[in-house]
Every structure is written in C-alpha cells, then in structure tokens.
Structure 1
C-alpha cells in the first residue's frame, strides 16, 4: 500500500474555459491535478484566486453509482437494500458472481487526486445526481453538469511517499479481496483518523505487474523489512 503525505501545495488559476474532464486532463498534464481542498486555509486561497468567477475544483460524485441509482429510481424504487441473509442470498444468486451496484455506500464524493473528503462535509453541495461535478462560485461549492465549461484551479503538490506492506488474514471468509480492496482502504483511513493522524495523508493500493493487489503468501517466505499491518476479515 502506498502512503502519501502532502508536505506542500500551491494553486494555479487557469484562465481557459473547459469541461470538468478537460480541466482535469490539463491539470494532470501540466501540474499535479485539479485542486483539492484539505482545510479552511486552502478554501480561502482558492476563493481569493477565483475572484467570484465560477471555477472547477477537483470534487466530483462517483458517476457510476449515481447513474445506477438514477436508473433504479426512474424505473423501479431504488438501488437494492439488503435487510437480511435471505435477501443477501437472493441478490448473490441474481449477480452470478458479477460485480454489481447495491444501495449501500459511504461517501460518494471524491477528489480527483484521491485526497480525503472528511474535512469538507459542511461544504458538500446538495445531492443532485444529474450534476456530479463541482465548481466554486462566489464562495459556494455548487454541483454542475460535467460538460459545462468554466475556468479552473490546478494544484502543484509535493508529497512524501512510503510503501507499507499489508498482510490480510482470512479467517474463512468467502470475500473476494480484490472486490473488497476499496472498503479496506476506507477502514484504514477511518482508523488513521481516529488515531489523530493528518487528513493530508492519502492511501492507495499498489498493484502488481499482473494487475492484482493481493497475492497469497508462501509459508516459507522470509519476512520483509517493510512495516506490516494486519487486518482480520470477519
């Protein structure tokens, strides 16, 4: 697992009208990414740069989940909720081992660069699922259609990076670890937050050359010198 901690950041106002995805691509090509807002000081800096113009920032809503939710609400009632073991078995049977959306979610708002979203709760705009991208306008965070064109704020970020070895102990669970990877990251983030560690810390999985995150450990493999975190799956 990669652990990145932001050591310094600076913001750049780009006086060019682009859609959210175009702005994201531009910032990633020329700087680091679309701007993330990690605290009130950075929020004030970005507001000062914007000068009351509507600008894109890096906040967006998970569009795949939103599209599925929108479809279910239009044609049925909602995305599926699982209230007991019987319903869980029914949904598993329907899924036939395919990854599917259900109605359970944590925080579907995300920053383009993967920064934590815990601080920004008071600023989250109303949940219009048809407008999953966010711009800053006159000091307010406003969700907009992603194909609208605005000026935007890029960010240059300097980070320190540490590689942490994670050992997962499976106690008989049938959970597919690759499918559960994001949920485990959320668990680690919550644990770090509870221990008072910085919100400037970003956790990501490091994929192996074969594209997978996890591999079975050989019993005779020697211990590596990396820091090790154990996590039990119930």
Structure 2
C-alpha cells in the first residue's frame, strides 16, 4: 500500500476510535445511610451505582453475592424537576405532541394518528415494543403503561422510543396497519413524565428508570433516595435516605484517578510503572468517562497524557494517538505556547465544564491512569 495512503487511513482510524466500556459494579455488604454510602463509593471507587439500561441492572444484580440482602442503595436521588423521558433511558429530544398536549395532568404518553397525547398510566391500551433485532413490534394486548413496559423489557428490549420524524412515521404505520377501531386507536409508547425528577449521584444524564409498580410513592414522606429490591428482579423503591442498607458502587474498568500530587513526568512514570499509561482522550465517550472519574480530586486540575512539542508546535497524546477530538478551554491548546518558560502539558479542569487546559509540566496535580 502507498505509504501516504496508509498514513491517511491510520489517521482516520485513530480519529474515529470510540469506546463504550461497561461499568464495574462492587457490592459493599455494610449497612450505611444513602449519604454515607455515597461518600464511601466516592472515596474507594467512582460513585454510587448508576444504571443506563437493563443490561446494567442485570450486571448490578449479579454483583450482589449475599442472598440474604433484600435492598441495596443505588445512586438515584430526588431533585424536584419535571421532564419527559423515554423508558429506555434516552433523552426526549424529538417531541410530536398533538396541539394542546400534553395537558399536564397525566404522566404517560400514547400515539394516535402519529401524534402524541398524555393519558393516565392506569388506562389499558395496546402498545409498541422495540426489539433490538427486528425493530418496533405491535403487541395485541390491552394493559396499563407499567404492565406494557414490563412486558416489553421481558420479551423484547423496552417500550418503543421515537427519536425523529422517520421513526415516528414508522411507528404510526405499524399502528395504522392494524386498522384498530377508534376506541382502541390510542397506543402506548415509551414516553413518560417524571414529576419529581431524580438525578444520579455522578451527575450522569441517564433517564433510565426501573421502578416497581406504584413506585416512587413517597409513602412515608421524605423518601428521596433509591434502593433496588433484589428479589426477584432488582426493581426500585423510593426510601428515606436515613435508612441503612448495603449498597453498590461502580468504577470505570479502564480509568483510575490517582490522588497524589505529582509533576507531569512523575505522573507519566507512575502510570507506566503501576498501570498502563496516562489517559488519552480521543473521543467524546472517553471524555465523558474522564468527567465521571475526575469529579472528586484534591487539585483544581488533573493531568492527562497530553503533551506539547515545542519542536514542531503541536499537541500530541503520549500513547501515540493523534489529537483529533478536542475539548480545550478558550485560550488553551494553541500552537503558540511559551516554550522558553516551561514545557507545557495538558490537564482537565476539576470543576465547571471540565475543559482541557495547558499547564507547566512542573505543576503538581492529581492524574488519571489507563489500566487496560
């Protein structure tokens, strides 16, 4: 192969790398309040457990190796905001409400003639599941929204989500092809409104929910934290945060924050001797994982494996990847670095938008190692 073409293809491959590494869950068989469990997880791992989908929940349930444990804390806590979300955990970016909808009284959504309306979740309707292999599937049963959600999760993937006009037309056609009578033409989709929005401890934007029927109910008032009931399916209950339960933490299997204050070259040596390397951030997915790992450092910024070459005036990753994806803070990451004062290396801010910044390599900061 022509050498120039080979280099171009290699550059494209490096610039398009994207990883999706599942969380590692760790069961802690110590009874603590939700806040105590959160503090423990942040000190020892990354945070209290977050779940993005049913695959995560299955892994979380499998991590609990004590059959006598009934409930475990996970990282979901009430925040008090209202928003519409998909049952799958995807954000509701595309909305196709009928004029005058939603009315605001109900919290579950159905489709009729391609438009959406809110309905009481207790109404019995046909519904559409999404199947990973075949796509949307019409289910010829009339059940309430929660029963429809449970059926889809057990037999397919989840209640259908609709993310754009094409998907909306596809679901509308599936319904119209059934030629349902007028009184049965309202069909459940996977959209629901969270009246008292819940937020994950690690601030992730996952809207996946796995509440048990009639939960959350705020039964004893002040039930602002979430515990998973392990038998039989790990579904969720809202609980008082002062109850004491065992809990599940999570960590990134590839990235680890080292809370030692070292110069950049010392941090590089530490990572290569004890793990693999300083982290390279060559995709938005890895940047998101870095943001999760870097939430609780002891310094205002954290070293990355990012280095500036004064010889050729470019930034590069020490692991060999080209700097394709970029997340620089304004005024940082230029080729005109001050090479006379100190060699510059890259760090990620601990707070705010967690952008990358240029720092003298002699600064002493925490750092992130790549473990695999």
TM-score, structure 1 as length reference = 0.47
Is the radius of gyration larger for structure 1 or structure 2? 2
TM-score, structure 2 as length reference = 0.30
Higher relative contact order (CA 8 A, sep 6+): 1
